[in-house]
Amino acid sequence: MICCIKNDYGTIDQSISIGPAQWPHFDLIVVHSGQIQLKLTGKRATMDSGQAILLYPGTPFKGGSVTPEAKISVHHFQLNSDKNLSSPNEWLADKKSGYNIFQYCEMPDLEHDIKRMVGLAHQPARPENEMMRSLLMALIIAQLQADHGTCLPKTSLSPEIRNLAAWLNENLGEKITLGDMAKQVGLSTSRFRTIFKQQLGTSPGAYLLDLRMNEAARLLRETLTPIKQIVSLTGYTEITYFYHAFKQLHKTTPKAYRDRHLPLG
């Protein structure tokens, strides 16, 4: 069972820092508008409106707003000692030191549930309110964990970059180079790299890697497609490279990920 500790919802600007902190519980940070960046275990994660990051217990982090202002909600929770979780959230039970980034784009029900959660945090600590907070937190995590396809952040994107993103989604199984991407938008590789980073907050290579790993995760969760075939469908020719990339992003092997998420029966 998920047990809520604290929730907050508000706006931060570039003068306000997030952390540094390292908590013994889970932290869910949802970006409702603007853009934030966190430094986690030597890596940087940039998140736009329509994205959220779940920090596992013991994960050191710090960061702040990239845009002049960003509206975020922060939710701290832990698992009861019996760890009797409902099926959609049982994957949390063994998480220690790490994180997972979710892209949910526009989900009115999720936004509504988050606002209800924050509102309940300011209500008297009665058993019924605490139970409702726990149920809402479990529902929020389950909604984020569900597959929403690959959606773009709400930040302003040029038509060329938006069309490129659609093209990448349709060609994940192909070998795609930086030059191929630059050619799609009619720019030199150096100019393309700069514009892409300005608009999406990450490099073209990192964005393509995320697309491939997210598609691999979806196929593992929702289908019985053999892992060797998933390797090919996501643009890899060497299974070793695929395994390394998947484990770097999802903190587990493809087989272990499938065993944990694919429903039985």
Query: Which tens digit of pLDDT belongs to each residue from 14-41?
Result: 888 888 999 999 999 999 888 898 998 7
Residues 28, 106, single domain; the answer is: yes
* Residue with the two structure tokens 């940087």: 44
H or E element in which residue 12 lies: strand 2-13
Q: State the CATH number of the domain containing residue 6.
A: 2.60.120.280
Is position 154 within any domain? no
Q: State the CATH number of the domain containing residue 172.
A: 1.10.10.60
- The answer to whether 114 touches 9, Cβ cutoff 8 Å, is yes
Q: What is the mean pLDDT of the chain?
A: 84
Question: Distance (Å, rounded) from C-alpha 213 to C-alpha 221?
Answer: 12
Residues 132, 36, single domain; the answer is: yes
* Residue with the two structure tokens 């969760």: 221
At position 140, the amino acid (one-letter code) is I
Is position 153 within any domain? no
Question: Distance (Å, rounded) from C-alpha 199 to C-alpha 191?
Answer: 12
Share of the chain above pLDDT 90, in %: 30
Q: What is the pLDDT of residue 176?
A: 94
* Residue with the two structure tokens 């540094």: 20
Question: Distance (Å, rounded) from C-alpha 228 to C-alpha 221?
Answer: 15
Residues 15, 139, single domain; the answer is: yes
Peptide bond into 254 cis (omega under 30): no
- Provide the residue range defining the domain that includes 89: 2-145
Question: Distance (Å, rounded) from C-alpha 136 to C-alpha 116?
Answer: 8
Residues 137, 163, single domain; the answer is: no
Q: How confident is the model at residue 105 (pLDDT cuts 50, 70, 90)?
A: low
Residues 97, 189, single domain; the answer is: no
Domain-ending residue, one of 91, 110, 145: 145
Residues 91, 215, single domain; the answer is: no
Domain-ending residue, one of 145, 175, 204: 145
Residues 133, 173, single domain; the answer is: no
**Neighbour-count burial for 108-147, b at 16+ CB within 10 Å, e otherwise:** eebeebbebbbebbeeeeeeeeeebbbbbbbbbbebbbee
Is position 131 within any domain? yes
More confident of the two residues 250 and 135: 135
More confident of the two residues 97 and 238: 238
Residue 120 clears pLDDT 90, i.e. is over it: no
Question: Distance (Å, rounded) from C-alpha 20 to C-alpha 56?
Answer: 15
Q: In total, how many domains does the chain have?
A: 2
Residue 85 clears pLDDT 90, i.e. is over it: no
Query: Which tens digit of pLDDT belongs to each residue from 163-186?
Result: 888 889 889 999 999 999 999 999
**Strand, coil or helix: what is 8?**
strand
Residues 235, 118, single domain; the answer is: no
Residue 51 clears pLDDT 80, i.e. is over it: yes
Residue 241 clears pLDDT 80, i.e. is over it: yes
Is position 150 within any domain? no
Residues 190, 214, single domain; the answer is: yes
Residues 138, 215, single domain; the answer is: no
Is position 152 within any domain? no
Is position 96 within any domain? yes
Residues 221, 112, single domain; the answer is: no
Is position 110 within any domain? yes
